[in-house]
Amino acid sequence: MPRTHYVGAGAALIAFVLAAWAVATLTGTIAPLFLPSPQAVGAELVDQIQSGDFWRDLWASIYRISVGWFISTLFAVPIGILMGNFHLIEGMLEPLVDLVRYMPAVAFVPLTILWLGVDDPQKFAILFIGVFFQEVLLIMDNVKNVPRDLIQVSYTLGLTKWEILRDVVLRYAMPGIWDTFRITIGWAWTYLVVAELVAANVGLGYRIMRAQRFLETEQIILGILVIGVLGLATDYFFKWTYKRLFPWAKQAH
């Protein structure tokens, strides 16, 4: 499929949704209380930019997402690699990881407040809980997908276990691990509102929760759209870097 057709199809669907939104709100089919018009959301964006609230919320949320996801990844990568390579470590850690990953992150909000207070470390902890336990299992699966024949040939050539891990397993698994990064940072964005649910005074999630109390639906829609756009931007960033870091991976598949 030509690139222009591929991009055009996505743009056409977005344009259709925006047009339907505008028609439904401007004709009065849906009351502004339930769904504000695009013009109202645009006016709210201008007001927030002029007041400076938009940039404060934006950078606070980007900072929390970046740090929370980085901490999660910093622990998930080595643990996931070890679990994917050594059955003993997998058998020891996987039951606990499976147990915690089914626990809702929002349920940990009261505990994290007791443990860490209400500042940014508490937000980082919620993002960590929401991302780490899923990420470590995905990385483990990425490592397990390395062909066994490739490992056996490496042993035949005289490589040690750690040389195989470093030079064979990691190199083969890195495209999949990079794709896991793309997926998990998307999850981090979805946990943003949960992370900023309590005792935050700045951030996109905070702005959404505050607007909910006062039924300011244009602020809610604006916050949702901004989070969606930021999430989409990070997704395309990882896709772009994937193609440049692993040009051979697409051909291999």
* Angstrom distance (rounded) from CA 81 to CA 141: 9
Cβ proximity of 73 and 133 under 8 Å: no
* Angstrom distance (rounded) from CA 136 to CA 76: 5
Q: Which residues of 188-217 are buried (b: 16+ CB within 10 A; e: fewer)?
A: bbebbbbbbbbebebbbbbbbbbbeeeebb
The better pLDDT of the pair 149, 68 is held by 68
Cβ proximity of 179 and 242 under 8 Å: yes
- Indicate if the alpha-carbon torsion angle 204, 184, 195, 64 is positive or negative: negative
Domains of the chain, start order: 52-252 (1.10.3720.10)
Cβ proximity of 21 and 38 under 8 Å: yes
With 80 as the cut, is the pLDDT of residue 52 above it? yes
User: Predicted confidence band at 250 (pLDDT cuts at 50, 70, 90)?
Assistant: low
Torsion angle, CA of 38/39/44/50, rounded to 10 degrees? 130
Cβ-based neighbour number of residue 148 at 10 Å? 8
With pLDDT > 70 as the criterion, what percentage of the chain qualifies? 98
pLDDT tens for each residue of 171-230: 899 999 999 999 999 889 888 888 887 777 899 988 998 888 888 899 999 999 999 999
* Angstrom distance (rounded) from CA 134 to CA 66: 17
R_g of the chain, CA atoms, integer Å: 22
pTM of the model as a whole? 0.87
pLDDT tens for each residue of 66-97: 999 999 999 999 999 999 988 899 999 999 99
Mean pLDDT of 94-108: 90
